[in-house]
A and B are shown apart, each in its own frame.
Chain A
Amino acid sequence: MSAAMTQASSQAMSHAATDKRCDVSVKDVEISFGRHVVLEKLSLDIAQSEFIVLLGPSGCGKSTLLNAISGLLDVNAGQIWIGGRNVTWEEPKDRGIAMVFQSYALYPRMSVRENMSFGLRVAGMPANEIQKRVADAATMLKITELLDRKPSQLSGGQRQRVAIGRALVRDAGVYLFDEPLSNLDAQLRAELRVEIKRLHQRLRATMIYVTHDQIEALTLADRIAVMKDRVIQQLDTPQKIYREPVNRFVASFVGSPAMNFMPGRVERGATGATFSLGDLSIPIQGYPFKSPGLTGAAVLGIRPEHVLSGAEAGPNAFNAQVEMAEPMGADTLVWCRTPSGASFSVRVDSGPSIAPGDTLPVSFPVGTLSLFEEGPDGRRL
Chain B
Amino acid sequence: MKNRVAIVGVADTEVGVVPQYSATQLYVRAARLALADAGITKDQVDGLITCASWAEPYLYHAEMIAEYMQIFPRYCMGAPAGGGTTLAMMHHAASAIVTGICHTVLVTMADSQVSGLSRDKAVEIMATAGHPQFERPYGPPIPAFYALLARAHEHAYGTTAEQRAAVAVACRKHASLNPAAQMRQPITIDDVLASRMIADPLHLLDCSLVSDGGAAFIMTSAERARDFKQKPVYLLGVGEGHSHEHVSQALSLTTSAAKESGERAFAMAGLQPSDVDVAELYDCFTPVVIIELEDLGFCPKGEGGRFVEGGRIEIGGELPVNTHGGLLSHCHPGHPGSMFAITEAVRQLRGSCGARQVPGAKIALVHGQGGIMSTHCTAIFGSEPI
Asked if A pairs with B, the answer is no
